[in-house]
Amino acid sequence: MVVAFNPPVAHVNHAYHTALAQYDRAVHYLSISDGVADFLRYPRRELTVNFPVKRDTGKIEMFTGYRVHHNTVLGPSKGGIRYSLGVSLDEIRALAMWMTWKCALVNIPYGGAKGGVVVDPKALSPRELENLTRRYAAELIPLISPHADIPAPDLGTNPQIMAWFMDTYSMNVGYAVPAIVTGKPVNIGGSEGRNEATGRGVITCMVEALRMQGQTNPADIRVAVQGFGNVGSNAALIAHKLGFKVVAVSDVTGGTYNPNGLDVPAVRAYLAETGGIRGFRGGDDITNDDLITCDCDVLIPAAMEDQIHEDNAPRIQASLIVEGANGPTSPEADDILSERGIMLVPDILANAGGVIVSYFEWVQDLQSFFWDEDEVNRQLERILIKSFEATVTTAEEHNVDLRTAAQILAIKRVADAVAIRGFYP
């Protein structure tokens, strides 16, 4: 039996508008030609696929997926794959563009890509999820390879999904290709430290920003984390272990707040047991909106796009924002936060830990030579601190906020590569 195909309903997504607005703001400070500036605004290629998946009931259901390559001037395109009902082509375009700037900012030899499927992964059984992943991976084979485009996990995906992705590609070419994806389980070519890398990078950037502000005692710093998936939960746990006072965390069910600090390992255990944070007895229930404006020193938005906007930016109490998510702050909110003197470490710097360690994983797979976790973390910290310092220097040179500085630095590196390579033919 075949289920009638209903294409995804177009919905408003402000991420691409935000990405383009940020780009235009940064380009204003650069001396690059109009032609190059226009070239860098556009995705290089976009693929939309509609594909069937057999459900456990025997029914065939159609799903829609995307893969966008924004730019490949600096190297193969790199970017995660998300499974979410909120996936849209405009969202994927924005995320691919941010990946281009992220990779350039931290000086790794990748361009930006992103992919996604319009699906609620929690509504699928394990077998259905595997069937969907393998069919989507097969649809992408014309675009992906270890030297052209390397996917990774993102919202709604995980190491197991990357393992299915790798196996599907490998079965099609006839031999094992660990380097086709990153974020895999360690025993099939994944890297030590990859799972925690994005959250660890967020906290590394937070510590550097606090040091800039003269705040060096973790026990005095109250941290709130919106989003408790891979990024948020690892950021909260690492901050907790370093002695910071994590006062609030939240997920899609709601959040919890304790001004004296939360027991983060207990929150993680409660989430694993119940499937949500709301109702955790070690704090008071709050909403995600409450968390954004709660009484804290550091706010880490690590959930979705469009969380900080002109309506709530005036009420934010944190003096430092470190973006664990991609695009959580609108351009209008950026202006409000800047006027209020609130420092913001932008997404393309703060959450770059994931793609940095993905790069390490890719290199290890290509060489079949693997590093231990201490080496991975040491190299991650080295690259992030160097990139943070370069961003601060650029901000001071142009008298701009850190987001604009990060984009200036990244866009210039890509534009310089375009100028050297030229245009084909």
Q: Report residue 172 CA to chain centroid gap.
A: 29
Residue-wise pLDDT for 9-61, tens only, equals 544 468 899 999 999 999 999 999 999 999 999 999 999 999 999 999 999 99
Q: Which domains does the chain have, with CATH numbers?
A: 44-180 (3.40.50.10860), 195-341 (3.40.50.720)
User: Alpha-carbon distance 384 to 353, whole Å?
Assistant: 7
Give the global pTM: 0.94
Please compute the mean of the pLDDT values over residues 112-133 and round it to a whole number.
97
Residue type, 92: I
- Strands of the sheet containing 254-257, edge to edge, are 284-286, 254-257, 245-251, 222-226, 298-301, 320-322, 343-345
Among candidate residues 106, 104, 87, 79, the one with its CA nearest the CA of residue 15: 87
Q: How far apart are CA 331 and CA 14, in angstroms?
A: 10
Residue type, 244: F
Q: What count of residues does the chain have?
A: 425
The string of pLDDT tens digits covering residues 274-304 is 999 999 999 999 999 999 999 999 999 999 8
63, β-bridge pairs? 51
Sign of CA dihedral 217, 218, 224, 230: positive
The C-alpha torsion from 370 through 371 and 377 to 379, rounded to 10°, is -90
Rounded to an integer, the average pLDDT of 81-90 is: 96
Cβ 250 vs Cβ 256: under 8 Å = yes
Where are any strands of DSSP class E within 93-219?
111-118, 149-153
Task: Starting at the earlier edge strand, list the strands of the sheet with 149-153.
Answer: 45-54, 60-69, 111-118, 77-84, 149-153
Whole-number pLDDT of residue 181: 98
DSSP single-letter state for residue 314: G
Contact of 327 with 102, CB cutoff 8 Å: no
Beta strands 245-251; 254-257: pairing state = antiparallel
Are 328 and 231 a contacting pair, CB within 8 Å? no
Reported as a pLDDT band with limits 50, 70 and 90, residue 6 is low
Instruction: Kindly report the backbone phi and psi dihedral angles of residue 103, in degrees, each rounded to the nearest multiple of 5, phi listed first.
Output: -65, -40
Banded model confidence at residue 382, pLDDT cuts 50, 70, 90 = very high
What gap in Å lies between CA 245 and CA 261, rounded to an integer? 5
Cβ pair 112, 97 in contact under 8 A = yes
Structure confidence at residue 3 as a pLDDT band (50, 70, 90): low
What CA–CA distances, in Å, run from 33 to 19, 28, 412? 20, 11, 12
Q: Is the pLDDT at 239 greater than 80, yes or no?
A: yes
In the 8-state DSSP scheme, what is residue 190?
A: P
Does 5 have pLDDT greater than 60? Answer: no
**DSSP E strand stretches across 140-251:** 149-153, 222-226, 245-251
Given the residues 114, 184, 245, 412, the one annotated as active site = 114
- pLDDT recorded at residue 8: 59
Contact 29, 404 (CB under 8 A): yes
Query: Using CA atoms, how far apart are residues 299 and 26, in angstroms rounded to an integer?
Result: 24
114 labelled catalytic? yes
Residue 19, H or E segment: helix 15-27
pLDDT of residue 216: 87
My answer on whether omega of the bond before 425 falls inside 30° of 0, hence cis, is yes
Distance CA 22, CA 336 (A): 15
CA nearest to 189, candidates 202, 177, 198: 177
Residue 11, pLDDT score: 47
Of the chain, the percentage scoring pLDDT greater than 90 comes to 95
Query: Residue written as tokens 């934010």?
Result: 316
Tens digit of pLDDT for each residue in 135-168?
999 999 999 999 999 999 999 999 999 999 999 9
> Which has the closest alpha carbon to 84: 135, 18, 21, 13?
13
Structure tokens at 221: 């710093």
Q: What angle do CA 138, 139, 142 make, to 5 degrees?
A: 95
Query: How many CB atoms within 10 Å of residue 372?
Result: 10
Bridge pairing between strands 111-118 and 320-322:
unpaired
Q: Is the peptide bond before 43 cis (omega within 30 degrees of 0)?
A: no
> Is the Cβ–Cβ distance between 111 and 78 less than 8 Å?
yes
Contact present, 307 and 301 (Cβ < 8 Å): yes
